[in-house]
Amino acid sequence: MKEDTKKEVAKSAIQFIKFGIVGMSNTIISLVVYYILVFFGINYIVANVIGFVVSVFNAYYWNSKHVFKVSENVSKLKSFMKVFASYGGSYVISLILLVVLVDLIGISEYIAPLLKLVITVPINFVLNKFWAFKEKK
């Protein structure tokens, strides 16, 4: 393996670890919002949407500052919109999984959000790394 390739693989591995840490904070924020709203009688789908929106703001902030490091000459609005779209795409998958897990399979609405992460986290990483925060060569 070429030295440049090794460095790129190492950089991506470190980014994935950092992305995972940010993702944990997103998950905690999203779940706290979700569980609070469900506790107060808000429909689980509505609670999931609100938790998602709150967590995207968190994701953008930390990913742009510490994971992918958006340069100063990149439009913050354009970058945020790409992040929102990236998370939005995986959110659609997430929502479908949530409905399938809760309504069709009968898994608890408190457990299902945790199970869907197995699919949505890798999707989010790929979309953020290779599109939303893609470095220009």
Rounded CA gap, 132 and 105, in Å?
34
Q: Are 129 and 68 in contact (CB under 8 A)?
A: yes
pLDDT at 136: 63
Rounded CA gap, 96 and 128, in Å?
21
Q: What is the pTM of this model?
A: 0.69
pLDDT at 73: 64
**Ranges under pLDDT 50 in the chain:** none
pLDDT at 137: 58
pLDDT at 79: 82
Q: How do residues 102-119 score in pLDDT, each as one tens digit?
A: 999 999 988 988 888 888
